[in-house]
Structure 1
Amino acid sequence: MAYEETVDDRPTETEATDKEYVFGTWSYQSEVSPTEIVEADGVRFTEADGSERIDFSGQLMCSNLGHSADDVADAMAEQAQTGAYFAPGFTTEPRAELGELLADVTPGDLSKTFFSTSGTEAVEAAIKIARFYTGKQKILSRYRSYHGATAGSISVTGDPRRLKAEPGIPGTIKAPDPYAYGSNMDPMESLDYIDEMLELEGDTVAAVLVEPIVGSNGILVPPEEYLPRLKEIAHDHGALLICDEVMSGFGRTGEWFGSDVFGVTPDIMTMAKGLTGAYAPLGATIVTSEIADHFEDEMLCHGHTYSGHPVACAAGLAAVKTYQEQNLVEHAADVGEYLGERLDDLADDHPSVGDTRGVGLFRGVELTKSSEGRVPFGRREDKISKGSTVVDEVAERAYENGTYVANMINTLVIAPPLTITEDDVDEAVSHIDDALSVSDAAMED
């Protein structure tokens, strides 16, 4: 959600023009009110009226490098001058080197990458590769998931926004999630459910597709043993494991990838967002050497005009090198631990904070109407309904105080740039501290 705060409460010329001529995403257009940003630096951005905000969610959980990654911007400009675009049948140094570097930083023997332009396209590629490789069609995903907006990726998404796009592609089935706070099923019991689903589906499931740590649907962190066991279950039934790392990748969790938190190498991994620090649209789907070898003599029947776009790959190459050279993954782990402590302080001080969870700089604060148990202010249907919720009002109050924090259903999603400092965290938390008075006042007890 974007918020508007101009001195005289009238839109700027840019805001008015955008409102008239550009669709807002995932919105009833009557409720769209875009805010013009004119400058950004580090972990902060500035609006047209001069108001400065801390970017405590990395925009859409993607600006991992913040807004001052000069090496990335310079690499893009240099490649644009050298050659802005070549067809995918050609190659460039940035594309080849980025492919090699991704094989190095991803876990296990993930080794060969297909480049696209977004996370949703990376998931589309993963679905097709899994089907081509296994010869099976079904994809099992989970109800509290988000995998993208295109036909295939929205079909495997569990998020309620898929409902308006149905019927989707055939062959998608949904399973429960490891959600200790908001489900009537224990996280590990949900694995037994998935095991039984795969058994009952017979040998028809190509892959199990999950976010190692669920992002848009609440920052859901499974037990340590969950993902390793899930991979075993998938393989026992002849299915691949696809890990969607679009949001949890590139240092966000204090590890290179969410899969690394649990010591798991998936068969296929999808990436985007932090891959370039959001400096350019770039998605990637990387597979193990065994899957890559399959396509030596079998056609990979998939492609994009902009696959391996030189400028985007130059951005990705520079971004990954920046993570390495500035030790940002380690920094995210250190500051992320401090962030977790500060969010726990909020839980101690505010009865409307029902749960805090997350790892590294990937955190969620879930709200509750009741101090006696989970009674959410926001519900799943709110994602496709008009109007605002108490959670929206909390986020808006924080924004007015000077901190942008995204909220999804009933959870404040905190995913700042990896360059954030403890002082920045303190300032942002103080803004949220005040904002939580809104939800405290709205409680039922």
Structure 2
Amino acid sequence: MSKQGSAPADGLNPTERTDREHVFGTWSFQSEVSPTEVTHAEGVRFTDGDGDEFIDFSSQLMCSNLGHSAERVEEAIAEQVADAAYVAPGYTTEPRAKLGEKLAEITPGDLSKTFFSTSGTEAVEAAIKIARFYTGNRKIVSRYRSYHGATYGSISVTGDPRRLAAEPGIPGAIKAPDPYAYGSTLDPMESLEYVDEMLHLEGDTVAAVLVEPIVGSNGILVPPDEYLPRLKEIAHDHGALLIVDEVMSGFGRTGEWFGADVFGVEPDIMTMAKGLTGAYQPLGATVVSDEIAAHFEDEMFCHGHTYSGHPAAVAAGVAAIETYEEEGLIEHASQVGEYLGERIDELAERHPSVGEARGVGLFRGIELTKRPGERVPFGERADKVSKGSTVVDEVAATAYEHGTYVANMINTLIVAPPLPISRAEIDEAIEAVDAGLEVADDAME
């Protein structure tokens, strides 16, 4: 995270200045990087180097689902490191075996066997390779408003403009339209028939269709209820698998264990990370169906990582799932998520600059507009790879000045607080966002 609204090299403390000099800021022009030191985090709040405290209304990068005080997870990591800090993937540990078993229990359908990695992008890389190994096909259909990671395969199947600098990417990455009525000439269900035609015209040579069940950093796009079930049918009709990327939407974010559960869909492959440990350890997972798992009994599973199933990371994963279960956080997210939606709807009624409010559970988006009643965005896709700040950045900066951190991507504020958040804390954060939206109201045409 960078200092909201400050000049790049002004007001940096020694830690921030050293970091800026020696560490790359991600997805940034380095001349614009101005890091903020975080010295403490607890509950749903974090403290910066100046001693100022902020509500974490976006769970950092939509990953601190458990908040910043998950004692069970902290203890599990410490205990595992004391027992064995690392073992090679050819060995196993009790936490690794247990986490694989737990994922088979909580994921939908017959997803049953897991490959562990260290991030969401690696989980997607594994999913791409598994789909290709299993089907014998090479093409992957994904969507334009998507983000699947930064490594070469996952950035190739990513739709948002951050992929452009890495192109040409891996062969066989094909983009489809999104279920997004605001920004497409196709209605969400019409876009499905377009995908159907794409797969037909590709001659049934597609290995998989890869989607976020609810699009995350490209706008919190929620498809119609019938969209994902129909997409699975279309994929299977053409011999392709359905891969569901739950890196951001998983682990209670939607008020269900996974985004696919919202739509009653059982994917062939599921990827996850972020909430898998609540961000207490870097851990990704790629979970496959019984049928796909059986394929590799006599076919080589030609993939691996040094840190696959890292003991401390999988121990954190087990403890995180136990925390979700024992503290009732999935149910809590559903309940307070409804309240969060009501409060955001109030903001939309009060601020003409809110073009649309959408989302599920504690996974909400506030999209802005320059003109009331029309979709004229302040932020464009090109802004994501351009210098300078936008009105949407200024809205987030103003909320930050009022004690709340909220992420923004292109033209949308992403509201995704830690699952333990209370109604009182939601109210406090909404007041800060309310102040930020005044900036957007004043900037309207």
Q: TM-score, normalised by structure 1?
A: 0.99
CA distance in 1, matches of 2:217, 2:438: 24
Letter of the 1:364 counterpart:
G
CA distance in 2, matches of 1:332, 1:4: 28
Give the structure 2 partner of residue 275 of structure 1: 276
CA distance in 2, matches of 1:77, 1:42: 20
CA distance in 2, matches of 1:414, 1:397: 15
> Any idea what SS the aligned residue of 1:132 has?
helix
Deviation at 1:79, TM superposition (A): 0.3
Indicate yes or no: 2:242 matched with 1:249.
no
Matched ranges for 1:131-150 at <5 A: 131-150=132-151
Give the structure 2 partner of residue 219 of structure 1: 220
CA distance in 1, matches of 2:185, 2:339: 31
- Residues 413, 345 of structure 1: alpha-carbon distance in 2 compared, 3 angstrom cutoff: same
Matched ranges for 1:280-319 at <5 A: 280-319=281-320
Contact 2:5 2:397 (C-alpha < 8 Å) held by counterparts: no
> Any idea what SS the aligned residue of 2:113 has?
strand
Contact 1:207 1:242 (C-alpha < 8 Å) held by counterparts: yes
CA distance in 2, matches of 1:440, 1:191: 35
Give the structure 1 partner of residue 13 of structure 2: 12
Deviation string, structure 1 residues 99-119 (Cα, Å, up to 9, x no partner) = 000000000100000000000
CA distance in 1, matches of 2:163, 2:309: 29
Matched ranges for 1:347-358 at <5 A: 347-358=348-359
CA distance in 2, matches of 1:381, 1:119: 24
Indicate yes or no: 2:88 matched with 1:87.
yes
CA distance in 1, matches of 2:267, 2:4: 42
Deviation string, structure 1 residues 75-118 (Cα, Å, up to 9, x no partner) = 00000000000000000000000000000000010000000000
Give the structure 1 partner of residue 37 of structure 2: 36
CA distance in 2, matches of 1:3, 1:221: 31
Deviation at 1:4, TM superposition (A): 5.2
Matched ranges for 1:162-241 at <5 A: 162-241=163-242
> Any idea what SS the aligned residue of 2:114 has?
strand
Give the structure 2 partner of residue 337 of structure 1: 338
- Residues 174, 414 of structure 1: alpha-carbon distance in 2 compared, 3 angstrom cutoff: same
> Any idea what SS the aligned residue of 1:68 has?
coil
> Any idea what SS the aligned residue of 1:373 has?
coil
Q: Which moved more, 1:355-364 or 1:174-183?
A: 174-183
Contact 1:242 1:268 (C-alpha < 8 Å) held by counterparts: yes
Deviation at 1:240, TM superposition (A): 0.1
Deviation at 1:310, TM superposition (A): 0.3
Deviation string, structure 1 residues 209-244 (Cα, Å, up to 9, x no partner) = 000000010000000000000000000000000000
Q: Which moved more, 1:179-188 or 1:253-262?
A: 179-188
> Once superposed, what is the RMSD of the aligned Cα atoms?
1.0
CA distance in 1, matches of 2:384, 2:422: 32
Letter of the 1:170 counterpart:
P
CA distance in 2, matches of 1:288, 1:256: 17
CA distance in 2, matches of 1:349, 1:2: 29
Deviation at 1:184, TM superposition (A): 2.1
Contact 1:181 1:355 (C-alpha < 8 Å) held by counterparts: no
Deviation at 1:182, TM superposition (A): 2.3
> Any idea what SS the aligned residue of 1:340 has?
helix
> Any idea what SS the aligned residue of 2:383 has?
helix
> Any idea what SS the aligned residue of 1:72 has?
helix
Give the structure 1 partner of residue 3 of structure 2: 3
CA distance in 2, matches of 1:245, 1:3: 29
> Any idea what SS the aligned residue of 1:111 has?
strand
- Structure 2: stretches of 5+ with no match in the other structure: none
Give the structure 2 partner of residue 62 of structure 1: 63
> Any idea what SS the aligned residue of 2:282 has?
coil
Deviation string, structure 1 residues 259-293 (Cα, Å, up to 9, x no partner) = 00000000000000000000000000000000000
Contact 2:161 2:385 (C-alpha < 8 Å) held by counterparts: yes
CA distance in 1, matches of 2:373, 2:276: 41
Give the structure 1 partner of residue 435 of structure 2: 434
> Any idea what SS the aligned residue of 1:90 has?
coil
Deviation at 1:5, TM superposition (A): 8.1
CA distance in 2, matches of 1:157, 1:42: 33
Deviation at 1:427, TM superposition (A): 0.4
Letter of the 2:2 counterpart:
A
Deviation at 1:185, TM superposition (A): 1.2
CA distance in 2, matches of 1:339, 1:3: 26
Letter of the 1:238 counterpart:
G
Deviation at 1:183, TM superposition (A): 1.9
CA distance in 1, matches of 2:124, 2:49: 36
Give the structure 2 partner of residue 369 of structure 1: 370
Deviation at 1:9, TM superposition (A): 5.6
Give the structure 2 partner of residue 156 of structure 1: 157
Deviation at 1:180, TM superposition (A): 2.0
Deviation string, structure 1 residues 1-37 (Cα, Å, up to 9, x no partner) = 522589x962111000000000000000000000001
Contact 1:382 1:409 (C-alpha < 8 Å) held by counterparts: yes
> Any idea what SS the aligned residue of 2:182 has?
coil
- Structure 1: stretches of 5+ with no match in the other structure: none
Q: Number of matched residues? A: 443
Q: TM-score, normalised by structure 2?
A: 0.99
CA distance in 1, matches of 2:197, 2:319: 44
Letter of the 1:30 counterpart:
S
Contact 1:4 1:34 (C-alpha < 8 Å) held by counterparts: no
> Any idea what SS the aligned residue of 2:185 has?
coil
CA distance in 2, matches of 1:174, 1:5: 35
CA distance in 1, matches of 2:267, 2:304: 22
> Any idea what SS the aligned residue of 1:53 has?
strand
